[in-house]
Amino acid sequence: MNSDKITKIVLFSVSFIILILAGGMVFSLVGGAIPSFKTFGFGFITSAQWDPTEGKEQYGALPFIAGTLITSLGALIISFPLSFATSLFLGEYYRNTRVAKVLGTMVDLLAGIPSIVYGLWGFYVLRPFLISIGFDNQGFGVFTSSLVLAIMIIPYATSLSNEIISMVPNDLKEAAYSLGSTRYEVIRYVTVPAARSGIFAGYILAFGRALGETMAVTMLIGNANRIPDSLFSTGNTMASVIANQFGEADGLKLSALISIGLLLFVITGIVNGIGKLIIKKMS
């Protein structure tokens, strides 16, 4: 066998590791989840009971699924005006200027801050601030978590929409200018419609990020195993309940937590898949 063939085989077999890894992950997660799904059936997803008392253990993931979706959706809503404005700043108004470069670097650095540091900041700075302005009287819960999550996902939403916005062809915009449009009108009637699906995909990917964030949410959501009933209610997300309860878990409880991990894996997979599909359709 010549060396070219060996090289090809080595490349192929090493890259096969990724497939094995992914397959193994699904296999292990499903395997670990079986005991709890066997015990509770489909009710595991629809039940809101989470009771680890020995003898009458009862696990349902609904509060955590709800908590995850609510906080992530909240984060998306809060981050929308911010990251949309930032991507216009970077991709349209100040494209290729020094100030955009500085701002862009700072936005990227937001993505570099570790989750636990966001959590500390949220706990020691944002929480007292929200209480002091009378916005929220305990400072824990869905709203505070969404707010910090919003900051965390801004870089992901911004980087894609900024790129797409700056790629809108100049002649389209110039045509609108020549008709006497103001810059705002160009953005509103030309740039944004042309970049719409890219901007949308960016938000979907950012949403996928928010779903799996763990530490910051764990520190801010208040760890109550119930379905949040208001914006300021405490709760738990799928990621935070794993982080919180893993330490003392074995047997059925461990299986329940792994099941939640499996659900989280599936949900983020679907959300990211949709985002990637939109991007693929565009190009």
Partner 1 sequence: MKSVSGIDNVGIRTKKDRIFLGLVVLLSVVTVSPIILIIFKLIAKGYKQLSFGFLVEKMPDTMQAMTAVANNELIPGGIANAILGTLLMVVLASVIAIPVGIITGVYLYENQGKWMANLTRNVSDILQGVPSIVLGLISYMWVVKHVTMGFSALAGSVSLAIMMLPMIVRSTEETLKMIPQTLKEAGLALGIPYWRVLFGILIPTGFSGLMTGILLAVSRVIGETAPLMLTALGSSVINTNISKPTSAIPLVIWEFYNDPNMVDLIWSSSLLLMIIVLVFNLTAKQIASRRK
Q: Say which residues have a Cβ less than 8 Å from residue 207's Cβ, sequence separation at least 6.
A: 72, 73, 75, 76, 153, 271
Site for partner 1 in 135-194 (CB under 8 A): 151, 154, 158, 179-185, 187, 189
Q: Which of 53, 56, 98, 112 binds partner 1 (CB under 8 A)?
A: 112
Site for partner 1 in 55-84 (CB under 8 A): 81-84
Stretch that binds partner 1, among 35-43, 53-61, 87-95, 138-146 (CB under 8 A): 87-95
**Residue 7 or 229 having the CB closest to partner 1:** 7
**Residue 18 or 55 having the CB closest to partner 1:** 18
Residue 42 as a binder of partner 1 (CB under 8 A): the answer is: no
Stretch that binds partner 1, among 41-49, 70-78, 222-230, 270-278 (CB under 8 A): 270-278
* In the complex, least distance from residue 56 CB atom to partner 1, rounded to whole angstroms: 26
**Residue 55 or 248 having the CB closest to partner 1:** 248
Residue 268 as a binder of partner 1 (CB under 8 A): the answer is: yes
Show contacts of 35-41: CB within 8 Å, 24+ apart: 35/252, 35/255, 36/252, 36/255, 36/256, 36/258, 36/259, 37/259, 39/252
Q: Which of 18, 42, 98, 170 binds partner 1 (CB under 8 A)?
A: 18
What gap in Å lies between CA 153 and CA 221, rounded to an integer? Answer: 17
The count of residues interacting with partner 1 (CB under 8 A) is 86
**Residue 5 or 56 having the CB closest to partner 1:** 5
